[in-house]
Amino acid sequence: MVPLVPSVSPVQKCQKSVPWRPTRSRVSQKETFADVKASRSRRPVPMPEVLVRELERIKAEQAVHRRALGKAYAPYDLVFRQPNGQLLHAHNVTQRDFRRVLKNAGLPRIRFHDLRYCCATLLLRYGVHARVTQEILGHANIGTTMNTYSHVLASSATEASSLLAERLLGTGISRHLQKAEADDA
Residue 2 banded pLDDT, cuts 50, 70, 90: very low
pLDDT tens digits for range 74-104: 887 788 888 898 888 888 888 899 999 999 9
Burial 32-66 (b: 16+ CB within 10 A, else e): eeeebeeeeeeeeeebeeeebeebeeeeeebeeeb
The answer to whether the predicted template modeling score (pTM) of the entire model surpasses 0.85 is: no
pLDDT tens digits for range 103-147: 999 999 999 989 989 999 999 988 899 999 998 888 889 999 999
